[in-house]
Amino acid sequence: MHILHVVGARPNFMKAAPVLRALSSRAGVRQTLVHSGQHYDANMSDVFFEELGIPAPDVNLEVGSGSHAQQTAQIMARFEPVVLERKPDLVLVYGDVNSTVAAALVCAKLLVRIGHVEAGLRSFDYTMPEEINRIVTDRLSDLLFTPSTDGSENLIREGVDRARIHFVGNVMIDTLVRMLPAAQQRFSEDLPEHYALVTLHRPSNVDDLEWLSGMLHTLADIGQGIAVLFPVHPRTRQRLAHAGLDRLDGNTVRLMEPLPYIDFLALQTRATIVITDSGGIQEETTFLGIPCLTVRENTERPITISVGTNCLVGRNPERIRAGVADVLAGKWRKGSVPDLWDGHAAERIAAILTSD
């Protein structure tokens, strides 16, 4: 059986790593890895391949950045000949980025079977590009691997045949579980004892310069009470530079370069609180039991709120400040770990793929 994996952006890498690994030990499985090149900076891509032990891609489509239409179309045009030439039996796509939907569209038209890892998540917010990517990818997929039961329920409600839905758990947590010992050993001398860890990269947040400027001031205020560490995504860095805000850090907000996986996980494990608009970080903080404030109006990962340690605070500075104050006062629920977030999701996927 020939399985071709498609990855492209930073959050894909930690999801594909355990699946590649689980399938490598299965007899009769041949694997091909295609990188779309959506993320291309060494600190957004190469460093994750190295740390997570992902084999070098067999093909890099080198699409780079562009508008949504340009990027998606470029991936499709460059991926189609690869599928025609390599003739996989199944293509696995991950998450909700443009590389995910582009690859799924190509395979659907070529009648190649598609498996979607992290299927069924819904924010019900159609202004998010990722929501469109999720819906289209799920609609086209033959095998839908869900990380949580809400994902399976969303798919059933949309009329997906139950036989195609497999609740396998969270592959991102597989990687976290494997890398946690290395992260726990990583210690930085100049790390404050208590700190808030911040990430912001959603276009709906960082492309709104007025909001971004207000948010930096909110973070600077929070920095009066607790150290603030902020590894900055390239999209956010560009917006900050454009608005002349990248030097506004003063002493209270430490703006940093994007971090490698283990360093960032190390920072999460020791954080007093995490403030983010990322999807994956809502899940990682839930697993680690670290309080998380999500700076969005909605989430496609509601289980991190109902079961975990996450709280939606919207784009509201008062609610962000209040959330930080609650955490510092020790008023935060402990949360628990969702079902099947146990480090073995990828093995379940491999077992399903090789069962027939």
Decide: 345 and 173 in contact? Cβ < 8 Å: yes
DSSP 257: P
Q: Which tokens is 154 given?
A: 């969303």
Our CB check for ligand UD1 shows the closer of 31 and 286 to be: 286
146 near ligand UD1, judged by CB under 6 A: no
How far is residue 346's CA from residue 328's CA, in Å, rounded to a whole number? 36
Stretch that binds ligand UD1, among 6-14, 170-178, 285-293, 347-355 (CB under 6 A): 6-14
How far is it, in rounded angstroms, from Cα 169 to Cα 195? Answer: 30
Instruction: Identify the residue among 1, 29, 44, 220 touching ligand UD1 (CB under 6 A).
Output: 44
d(CA 120, CA 199): 25
140 φ, ψ (degrees, to nearest 5): -95, -10
Residue 152: its H or E element:
helix 149-157
C-alpha 230/C-alpha 198 separation (Å) is 5
Only segment of 35-43, 163-171, 184-192, 336-344 that touches ligand UD1 (CB under 6 A): 35-43
Site string for ligand UD1, 105-134 (x = CB under 6 A): ------------------------xx----
Write out the two tokens for 242. 């454009």
What's 179's DSSP letter?
Answer: H
Dist. CA 262–CA 13, nearest whole Å: 13
Q: Site mask, ligand UD1, residues 191-210, x = CB under 6 A?
A: ----------x---------
Q: Which of 39, 116, 201, 233 is catalytic?
A: 201
Angle made by CA atoms 120, 123, 128, in degrees to the nearest 5: 110
Site string for ligand UD1, 313-342 (x = CB under 6 A): ------------------------------
174 binds ligand UD1 (CB under 6 A): no
Candidates 7, 97, 114, 119; binder of ligand UD1 (CB under 6 A) is: 97
Question: Using the rule CB under 6 A, is 184 a contact of ligand UD1?
Answer: no
User: Closer to ligand UD1 at the Cβ: 3 or 281?
Assistant: 281
Q: Which residues are catalytic?
A: 201
User: Which chain residues interact with ligand UD1 by CB under 6 A?
Assistant: 9-11, 38-41, 44, 65, 96-98, 129-130, 201, 233-235, 238
